Structure 1
Amino acid sequence: MSRRTLAESYEKIPTHIFPNSGAAAKALAAEVKALIEERAKEGKNVVLGMATGSTPVPFYRELIRLHKEEGLSFKNVITFNLDEYYGLTGDHPESYACFMREQIFDHIDIPKANINIPSGTVPGDQVFAHCREYEEKIDAAGGIDFQILGIGRTGHIGFNEPGSSRDSLTRRITLDRVTRQDAAADFRGEENVPHFAITMGVGTILRGKKLVLMAWGENKAEMVAKAVEGPVTEAISASFLQDHPDARFCIDEGASRELTRVKLPWLVGPVSWTPRETRRAVCWQAFKTNRPVLKLTDEHYNEHGLSDLLSEQGPAYQLNIRIFNQLQHTITGWPGGKPNEDDTYRPERATPYPKRVLVFSPEPQDAIVAMGSTIERLVEQGHDVRIVALTSGSLRISDSEADKFAGTLQELAGVVEDSPAWQSQVAYAREVLKQLEDKGEFGEDTPMLRQLKGLILRGELRDAAHACNVGTDHVTFLGLPFYEQGRYRRFKSTEADIEALTSLLREHKPHQIYATGDAADPSSVSGICFKLLESSLKACHKEEWAGSASLWLYRGKEKPLAAHEIDMAVPLSPMQLERKARALSRYGSLSSLELSSPESNRQNASHYDALGLAEYEAIETFQRWSRV
């Protein structure tokens, strides 16, 4: 049986892995272009099912490019959107009607009459009729020829949350809490996210002639694997695609990481036993058998599909010792390198000492959340540590925080003597409160409000950094233009962003760099920031400092590093973990995932303990970043 056939025995839906979202988007857009042009020659229309969210954005941008640069016309295209938030007008900035106009419809020649999106404002007693009419419109257009889909963290397609049946049709649905949490940043707080949506049903989607589900980033990997390899279940509506005759998944490498052929390739076919792959197999086997690495036997290897590894690198005793030593050598209390010591088996080199260290934080909370204790350790050990907030983070601050700030300023002015010095502050506070009231619950922030929200988060980062022993003069706010001029899911980076980053790198010439976003959705803040940093480092690659800088990756909002991926593990004492928690308490706008960072650090330690290594209270983990 061939490797591909073995993979197919696990994958119940054809799954194509692309190196990145751009490559996938280009391939899919070319396929759609061919379909549109073929139908145009026949004098026929093409009916496209459209998705929203960050996932289809690269695909839509490629369609726009094909229209503007290669003359692709959309005059014979009819579109039907999957869903819409219930309660939002079409001009609300977070409505999917607005999203579709901004992301594609305003940039191509599709007739407005050919665009169909469920209404978010249809009266409650007319919702059923509206949904039935939507189904009838799809049927009248001849059915959907090509349906684009994404996948949510609950495994949903459209807004078909867990419990949606295979035969469900277009309807109003209550949004799952996880879905609302994922949309919280868009709406500046979970409390502002609508509780309901109108969505095509699973049955409606399955009537499409061709279905393509796209997924980017490691946060989607678990649900992709469950939908592709698991049973068909109402708990994961994307799994129903297994029953469709022409459905496929198009994913990037990050989203593929939980597929059996990627995660456990030895179960699928022959493996090239690189050091990383060997460590992955041994760690997996240890967790699976619930035994520390040094207690694995030849029989364990043979019973779990690893006989090839054993014959190539065994016996088990010698292999176990080698992997155990590799894992042990990742542990260090000296993340900047231990001066005047043999660094042969240490993750970081001893020289130079002290090091100039840049810690890049996509949004102002990311670095403290993921590696606050390591930052503190670096400072204690004498290194010159600078935290660089790449964006202001203003979009994550709720209106209530701005209202509280302005209200406090007004109250403070009321308890001091009347003074001309306070008149401008009072005027500022009143204007902030007025703008908050004028824009309403869902309105777009004015420049003044965005500036204030950025200042609030700036203050929080300074406080949190101080708790990690980083002085105010060692906190840099870069304010990359892509963020300040955009919104979530609508960011577009430019050369100005790269120039700002490149200038900062050349100014500080770091010996050590910490960054995140390598496994993130490429259209997320951290994903964009990572690509920009990558481009800036490439621009500097011929400079001496760049060639010798050590590069480390940490995980922020993405799935934590697995044991075999860790190249540096920094153990934390109970007191260090407590100080990190205190640093996190300086923020007023952390998500539940970010607040659980100390518990994630404890889980890292428990994994090392299970492998037979020393038992620690908690561990922050890092992966060596291969040279760009």
Structure 2
Amino acid sequence: MSTARRSAAEAYEKTPTRIFPNSATAAKELAAEVRALIEERAKQGKNVVLGMATGSTPVPFYRELIRLHKEEGLSFKNVVTFNLDEYYGLGADHPESYARFMADQIFDHIDIPKANINIPSGKVSSDQVFAHCREYEEKIDAMGGIDLQILGIGRTGHIGFNEPGSSRDSLTRRITLDRVTRQDAAADFRGEENVPHFAITMGVGTILRGKKLVLMAWGDNKAEMVAKAVEGPMTEAISASFLQGHPNARFYIDTGASRELTRAKLPWLVGPVSWTPRETRRAVCWLGNQLHKPVLKLTDEHYNEHGLGDLLSEQGPAYQLNIRIFNQLQHTITGWPGGKPNEADTYRPERANPYPKRCLVLSPEPQDAVVSMGATLERLAEQGHDARLISLTSGNLRVPDSEADKFAETLKELAGIVSDSSVWAPQTAYAEQALKMLADKGEFGADTPLLRQLKALILRGELRDAANACHLTNDHIVFLDLPFYEEGRYRRFKSTQADVDALAALLREHKPHQIYATGDAADPSSVSGICFKVLEAALKACEGEDWAGSCSLWLYRGKEKPLEGHEIDMAIPLSPSQLERKGRALSRYGALSSLERASPESNRQNAANYDALGLAQYEAIETFQRWRRV
């Protein structure tokens, strides 16, 4: 374990952990360290051996390395790389292979010799897997070992593909992928059923032989596993936890990924706290949940016995503090997301005027907004607001080939039964062309522009059906089709000024009083993360315009961890019938992930959380946080 001196705030952390404001800042610092190492070794006439990772996490780091090469002349001719893993069964030319990913993300953009690139083969025959893995280990050793190993962390806590149960001494081997890992890769493969079941991965023991290890993690979804890996016991259930035993391992994380660390989640346990209103509510909600007691039943003794004596002495006694926090929680609950007209709004989350409001609900992919806030969307429409559902991207990459095949076959069959088939000749030709392209590309080939267009049309129909179920008419649905998505693919997206300009033009056209958005807590390389950054830039471009100064921005959570009690600024309760209608709206989508399908249950859990704090009992609740510009 590292002997580096820790601050009191880091007392619970067993591996040194740096928290950065965003992934770009962390990537820049790490890339500067790598540059210094490469240049130092080059002067000595020696190589640098880097261990490389895949997935969206290292993408900002790779982009900074490319920038250093293209803009500042950093050469990679003395760099040798070893990748952590590869899907078993995929060849290097497969669009979702890690060999292809590394070529796209970094190797094709720098001057590293191809002979210096080492990636496990996904196509080695089954009877040769053991020998192939042993040769990989031997080649690493022959190069003098890995100087710096880059790592990410999966939702199962894995590094590489070392799923739960991987021992500390495990070596490079073939492994069966955990169901959660396969779920996370489902979008890349257009369906969980298409994700390979096996992979070849460096073992935990192989990784720990690296001289330096840096694990990066971005976004709220990584927070729970980061905390377990950094603060919990070393265990085979979380292979990243074994970094605690390495003398030179570090975690580089952003603010979102840090939220479950003790210094971020329970700061009063590690030092003095500035008791802001948000921090005070966090502490009181935590104490109630810790003791399984409603807020109004907490006592002075409860505060003192759980490290909150300073809060009590500053804002107590408990009775008065409890009532204040209870009232704050109660005031977040409203059935009027757009504000209640002709009513006092002192204690309501959203202002009453103007009424009706122009509301833009931004959905990164066509399903996101309905999944996360379908009932709120229905409320806005029913209460007379001009609510517009904006699908920022087409979502075509998430549509499986089977859906496109079904659509094309139906179109072809329909053309064959009409009385005058010659009228349908163009439709028949279109369907036959689509079917041929599906057959030619095979199970995992890249979609042609025509197929992406066809899949986008399928999702448009599904979104219209779902939005209609939420009482939105078709003329209140906008498909923006941001260029970064249409020109890219998962884990390879990169926004440009064209995306910002398109969204800024939409904002200026509608001049909204309210915007609902998501992605602030997401992985910055994800679709929702990129969309939120585009929104930030678009809002900045509109600063100073009359409508912008009075526009409120409400954040909802999509695939990220739900908002906690102290983070919620607006809670929209759902009756049983409203939750049922939301379920019917979700059923209009043909390809939701298991996490998306579980949205109604997540809404029920939100209500249970409010109930546990002593608030009124509801069937379900959709939650929102007011955006506070940093």
TM range (shorter): over 0.9
Aligned to 1:448: 450
Q: Deviations over 1:387-424 (max 9, x none)?
A: 00000000000001101111111222233224222111
367, 370, 379: which is aligned to 2:369?
367
Distance 2:602 2:116 in 1: 48
Which one-letter code corresponds to 2:30 in the other structure?
L
Aligned to 2:581: 579
Which one-letter code corresponds to 1:623 in the other structure?
Q
Aligned to 2:161: 159
Distance 2:372 2:17 in 1: 32
Aligned to 1:240: 242
Distance 1:236 1:568 in 2: 35
Report deviation, 1:256: 0.4
Contact 2:266 2:283 in 1 (8 A): yes
Aligned to 2:139: 137
Aligned to 1:172: 174
Distance 2:400 2:418 in 1: 28
Which one-letter code corresponds to 1:21 in the other structure?
S
Distance 1:321 1:439 in 2: 63
52, 55, 58: which is aligned to 2:57?
55
Q: Deviations over 1:493-538 (max 9, x none)?
A: 1100000000000000000110000000000000000000000001
Q: What is the DSSP-based 3-state SS (H/G/I as helix, E as strand, rest coil) of the residue aligned with 2:624?
A: strand
Q: Deviations over 1:188-240 (max 9, x none)?
A: 11111111111000000000000000000000000000000011000000001
Aligned to 1:609: 611
Which one-letter code corresponds to 1:41 in the other structure?
K
Aligned to 2:82: 80
Distance 2:552 2:489 in 1: 32
Contact 2:63 2:105 in 1 (8 A): yes
Report deviation, 1:251: 0.3
Q: How does 1:140-539 map to 2 (within 5 A)?
A: 140-539=142-541
Task: Using the TM superposition, name which of 524-533 and 416-425 deviates more.
Answer: 416-425
Q: Deviations over 1:87-143 (max 9, x none)?
A: 111011111111111111111111111110001111111110000000000000000
Which one-letter code corresponds to 2:585 in the other structure?
A
Report deviation, 1:492: 1.0
89, 103, 106: which is aligned to 1:101?
103
Which one-letter code corresponds to 2:226 in the other structure?
V
Aligned to 2:72: 70
Distance 1:6 1:464 in 2: 51
CA RMSD of aligned residues (A): 0.9
Q: Would you say 1:557 and 2:559 are equivalent positions?
A: yes
Aligned to 1:588: 590
Q: What is the DSSP-based 3-state SS (H/G/I as helix, E as strand, rest coil) of the residue aligned with 1:10?
A: coil
Distance 1:478 1:604 in 2: 31
Q: What is the DSSP-based 3-state SS (H/G/I as helix, E as strand, rest coil) of the residue aligned with 2:214?
A: strand
Aligned to 1:89: 91
Which one-letter code corresponds to 2:15 in the other structure?
I
Contact 2:24 2:60 in 1 (8 A): yes
Q: Deviations over 1:59-93 (max 9, x none)?
A: 00000111111111111110000000111110111
Contact 2:292 2:612 in 1 (8 A): yes
Distance 1:239 1:294 in 2: 39
Q: Deviations over 1:31-55 (max 9, x none)?
A: 0000011111111110000000000
Q: What is the DSSP-based 3-state SS (H/G/I as helix, E as strand, rest coil) of the residue aligned with 2:355?
A: coil
Q: Deviations over 1:464-517 (max 9, x none)?
A: 000111110000000000000000000111100000000000000000110000
Distance 2:6 2:35 in 1: 29
Report deviation, 1:4: 4.9
Report deviation, 1:627: 3.6
Q: What is the DSSP-based 3-state SS (H/G/I as helix, E as strand, rest coil) of the residue aligned with 1:142?
A: coil
Task: Using the TM superposition, name which of 429-438 and 209-218 deviates more.
Answer: 429-438
Aligned to 1:15: 17
Which one-letter code corresponds to 1:343 in the other structure?
D
Distance 1:258 1:215 in 2: 13
- Runs (4+) of structure 1 moved beyond 4 Å? none
Report deviation, 1:429: 1.1
Distance 2:190 2:588 in 1: 19
Q: Deviations over 1:329-354 (max 9, x none)?
A: 00001100001110000000000000
Which one-letter code corresponds to 2:362 in the other structure?
F
Distance 2:116 2:328 in 1: 60
Distance 1:529 1:148 in 2: 27
Distance 1:348 1:594 in 2: 27
Distance 1:252 1:351 in 2: 37
537, 541, 544: which is aligned to 1:542?
544
Contact 2:376 2:622 in 1 (8 A): yes
Distance 2:495 2:158 in 1: 29
Contact 2:10 2:263 in 1 (8 A): no
Count of equivalent residues: 626
Which one-letter code corresponds to 2:431 in the other structure?
A
Task: Using the TM superposition, name which of 400-409 and 318-327 deviates more.
Answer: 400-409
Distance 1:326 1:595 in 2: 31
Report deviation, 1:8: 3.4
Distance 1:63 1:314 in 2: 53
Q: What is the DSSP-based 3-state SS (H/G/I as helix, E as strand, rest coil) of the residue aligned with 2:11?
A: helix
590, 598, 601: which is aligned to 1:599?
601
TM (norm. structure 2) is 0.99
Which one-letter code corresponds to 1:95 in the other structure?
S
Which one-letter code corresponds to 1:137 in the other structure?
K
Q: What is the DSSP-based 3-state SS (H/G/I as helix, E as strand, rest coil) of the residue aligned with 2:228?
A: helix
Contact 2:187 2:398 in 1 (8 A): yes
Distance 2:178 2:552 in 1: 42
Task: Using the TM superposition, name which of 6-15 and 65-74 deviates more.
Answer: 6-15
Report deviation, 1:626: 1.4
Contact 2:23 2:60 in 1 (8 A): yes
Distance 2:10 2:340 in 1: 49
Which one-letter code corresponds to 2:97 in the other structure?
S
